[in-house]
Chains A and B, each alone.
Chain A
Amino acid sequence: MRSLLRTISRRDLLRQTAVAGLASAANFIPAVPAIAQKAKVKVGLLLPYSGTYAALGHNITDAMKLGLAEAGNKLGGRDFELVQLDSEADPAKAAANTNKLIVGEKVDFLSGPVHSGVAMAMAKIAREEGTLTIVSNAGANAVTREMCGANIFRTSFSNWQVCFPMGTEMARRGLKRVVSVTWNYAAGKEMIGAFREGFEKAGGSVVKEILIPFPNVEFQANLTEIAALKPDAVFAFFAGAGAVKFVKDYAESGVKAKIPLYGAGFLTDGTLPAQGAAAEGVFTTLHYADSLQLPANLRFRDAFKKATGRDADVYAVQGYDTAQLLIRAMEKVKGDTGATKELIRAMEEAKFDSPRGAWRYSKSHNPVQDVYLREVRNGDNAVVGVAEKEVSDPGTGCGMA
């Protein structure tokens, strides 16, 4: 190394530096507008690709890819690149991961995550940095309330949005005294809080809110408590393994035969094969159902099955709509990612037929959508009706609402 250095004379060094300088200047100065048009559009995806939520991350990503492929694999006439980063659904790593995409990869758009804790960190940074961000699953109310921002959009739902209509619906069914039960964590409390708001507004009363330490799945003691309280019905929110176990325990303890079970859609979504007969007759509300008989849904489910070999679910729909939003906004600005204001306006005004129904945004950038009432029949979430049409999250605390 030392001998090599010595062979480079000072003159050579000067000459090389000058050449390098010229070259980089030549590249740089006239090329600014050209780069913006020619370089690939970078879309950063912060989603869980490993761990418990891996299936959700993959469905969101694959549905996005499907949507983009249907649009000719171009965004506003430009090529694009998806930068996928495993969020590990870990809020502790969320800030570093978001920075990796925004600062490190300099992405033009950011999308994800599944976990609400990750979403809070991600939205906070994105708001400061101004990166256009589309939240494709996390339902934390705050994302389109206190934390809302002009550049933050959501293609999924707010926790409030899917539970409030169930409150109204249950009161409509003549149920008066209800016990609600969930895990003692942020999403759970938002879910049963929204349910209570809707139920009490319509004249019902929540006799007890049972909060179980997260992620504990030993429910027997609480089921005994519920049986002793003898409510007209139970409203529950659990997801994943907790949802499977709660629904099974509820049936096997004999409570289900006496007290009907209602819940947020996640109680029976993606979990029915494991829940089996125990889930039959459980009512839930959600902004989507696999069996929705809408032309856009039938077409999407067919295409997703062909592309991936798997059945689409609510997460895939949210990924697909994220792609739709990107495609429409980039078309409006003809691929000019620098036109932030126009991009935001295009997203706000985007109207299309989503597999879940007609698409439009509220002022706080949360979708205004129908919330469906579903009943588990023969191992399927059958759509019974619409619990509430065009539900819009109130966006409390958001300056734009």
Chain B
Amino acid sequence: MDIGTIAIQLLNGLQYGLLLFLIAAGLTLIFGILGVINLAHGSFYMIGAYLAYWLSEKTGSFALAIALALPAALLLGLVVERLAISFLYQRDHLYQVLLTYGLILIFNELQRIVWGNDVHGVAVPAILAGVVEITESQSYPVYRLFISAICLLVAAAMYVAIHSTRIGMMIRAGSSSREMVQILGIDVGRLFAIVFSVGAALTAVAGMLAAPINSVYPGMGENVLIISFVVVVIGGIGSIKGAFIGSMMIGLADTFGRVMVPELSSMVVYALMAAVLLWRPSGLYGVKA
């Protein structure tokens, strides 16, 4: 590999990692603060993608589709939290796994009924459709750069929100000691509802952004679910910073793994997870159990 190719593969890895971060950030918050194992997290990703497809068909504009889908996703997260998840905070993880697995089946069936089983494509908005020529033989799609920029913006916004706002303070406190936050008289129910809803919406946004490059198809949620759990475990449960570093590591390991050791590429990310866990059993930024 020449230096130009390495640079582009680096870009590929970071871009994949940034998209993963959007998904994993929500998952790690829900897992770390609410203590809920949310297997249905991938379903929000799928719903985001289908909403982007459906609304951009209806409105003819991808930007408008996202503007409409975002509040819809926030609302959906809120409804799911109030109607289902909120009853299980005190319960064992097994109940949560059963419930959220059931949610996967329900969402998949709804998707089949509403949108059918066909694969759909979403057009990249015209202004972002071009490519940037990087070397004589290599070019890079503008839309992928755009996704990376959006993901970085979201990551920065999350950093500011968590470190410099009141609700961020509560989230930080909640992730290190849930009981203490409750004792201090913070409305935990409201905090949990917000966190779940935002987490679900972040994942849905990832689905919306990925729709033009990933296409939209049944079962797309399950594909990202496992890899985002890997990210959460590597980064340490409940840590946004960990999720960010973990996503970057997975993105790069996956990208370079499949080019340099194609025979082993499907296990590179899991080997990485195992190595990190041997070194730090609670993940990179995890609170020691």
Within 8 A of A (CB), among B188-219: 213-215, 217-219
A-B contact count (CB 8 A): 103
Report the bound CA distance from A131 to B32 in whole Å.
57
Whether a CB of chain B sits under 8 angstroms from the CB of A252 is yes
Q: Which residues of B contact A385 (CB under 8 A)?
A: none
Report the bound CA distance from A75 to B134 in whole Å.
65
Q: Tell me whether B258 and A222 are in contact (CB under 8 A).
A: yes
Q: Which residues of A contact B218 (CB under 8 A)?
A: 52
Q: Tell me whether A253 and B266 are in contact (CB under 8 A).
A: no
Whether a CB of chain B sits under 8 angstroms from the CB of A201 is no
Contact mask B246-257 → A, CB, 8 Å, 1/0? 000000001110
Q: Tell me whether A240 and B144 are in contact (CB under 8 A).
A: no
Report the bound CA distance from A55 to B118 in whole Å.
9
Whether a CB of chain A sits under 8 angstroms from the CB of B139 is yes
Chain A min CB distance to B140 (Å): 7
Whether a CB of chain B sits under 8 angstroms from the CB of A54 is yes
Q: Which of A210, A221, A273, A276 has the most CB of B within 10 A?
A: A221
A241-B217, A245-B214 given; A210·B1 CB < 8 A = no
Q: Which residues of B contact A274 (CB under 8 A)?
A: 118-121, 215
Within 8 A of B (CB), among A239-262: 240-241, 244-245, 248-249, 252-255, 258
Report the bound CA distance from A230 to B4 in whole Å.
14
Q: Which of A217, A220, A258 has the most CB of B within 10 A?
A: A220
Q: Which of A216, A248, A276 has the most CB of B within 10 A?
A: A248
Whether a CB of chain B sits under 8 angstroms from the CB of A224 is yes
Chain B min CB distance to A306 (Å): 22
Within 8 A of A (CB), among B235-289: 254-256, 258-259, 262-263, 265-266
Whether a CB of chain A sits under 8 angstroms from the CB of B102 is no
Whether a CB of chain A sits under 8 angstroms from the CB of B42 is no
Contact mask B30-70 → A, CB, 8 Å, 1/0? 00000000000000000000000000000000000000000
- Which A residue sits closest to B218, measured CB to CB? A52
Q: Tell me whether A248 and B215 are in contact (CB under 8 A).
A: yes
Contact of B213 among A55, A221, A241, A248 (CB under 8 A): A248
Q: Tell me whether B140 and A254 are in contact (CB under 8 A).
A: yes
Q: Tell me whether B262 and A210 are in contact (CB under 8 A).
A: yes
- Which A residue sits closest to B263, measured CB to CB? A211
Report the bound CA distance from A232 to B78 in whole Å.
53
Q: Tell me whether B259 and A221 are in contact (CB under 8 A).
A: yes
Q: Tell me whether B215 and A245 are in contact (CB under 8 A).
A: yes
Q: Which residues of B contact A249 (CB under 8 A)?
A: 213
Q: Tell me whether A52 and B219 are in contact (CB under 8 A).
A: yes
- Which A residue sits closest to B266, measured CB to CB? A213
Within 8 A of B (CB), among A200-217: 210-213, 215-217
Q: Tell me whether B119 and A240 are in contact (CB under 8 A).
A: yes
Contact of B13 among A221, A225, A258, A271 (CB under 8 A): A221
Main secondary structure of the interface of A (DSSP, over half): helix
Report the bound CA distance from A119 to B189 in whole Å.
53
A224-B5, A252-B213 given; A275·B266 CB < 8 A = no
Q: Tell me whether A225 and B144 are in contact (CB under 8 A).
A: no
Chain B min CB distance to A141 (Å): 23
Q: Tell me whether B141 and A252 are in contact (CB under 8 A).
A: yes
Report the bound CA distance from A240 to B247 in whole Å.
28
Q: Which residues of A contact B12 (CB under 8 A)?
A: 220-221, 224
Q: Which residues of B contact A253 (CB under 8 A)?
A: 131, 139-141
- Which A residue sits closest to B144, measured CB to CB? A220
Chain B min CB distance to A51 (Å): 8
Q: Which residues of A contact B143 (CB under 8 A)?
A: 252
Q: Tell me whether B124 and A276 are in contact (CB under 8 A).
A: no
Contact mask B114-135 → A, CB, 8 Å, 1/0? 0001111101100001010100
Whether a CB of chain A sits under 8 angstroms from the CB of B92 is no
Q: Tell me whether A221 and B217 are in contact (CB under 8 A).
A: no
Q: Which residues of B contact A215 (CB under 8 A)?
A: 223
Contact mask A273-301 → B, CB, 8 Å, 1/0? 11110100000000000000000000000
Q: Which residues of A contact B13 (CB under 8 A)?
A: 221
Whether a CB of chain A sits under 8 angstroms from the CB of B229 is no
Q: Which residues of B contact A70 (CB under 8 A)?
A: none
- Which B residue sits closest to A53, measured CB to CB? B117
Report the bound CA distance from A252 to B139 in whole Å.
10
Report the bound CA distance from A218 to B218 in whole Å.
16
Q: Tell me whether A228 and B138 are in contact (CB under 8 A).
A: yes
Whether a CB of chain A sits under 8 angstroms from the CB of B9 is yes
A248-B213, A253-B141 given; A54·B117 CB < 8 A = yes
Report the bound CA distance from A218 to B265 in whole Å.
12
Report the bound CA distance from A392 to B256 in whole Å.
41
Would you list the 3 A-B pairs with minimal beta carbon distance, nearest first? A254-B139, A213-B266, A241-B217
Further 8 A-B residue pairs, CB within 8 A, beyond A227-B137, A253-B131, A273-B121: A52-B117, A211-B262, A211-B263, A221-B259, A241-B220, A248-B215, A271-B119, A276-B123
Query: What are 8 A-B pairs with beta-carbon distances under 8 A?
Result: A52-B218, A220-B12, A220-B16, A221-B13, A227-B137, A241-B217, A248-B213, A255-B139
B residues with a Cβ closer than 8 A to A are: 1-2, 5, 8-9, 12-13, 15-16, 117-121, 123-124, 129, 131, 133, 137-141, 143-144, 213-215, 217-220, 223, 254-256, 258-259, 262-263, 265-266
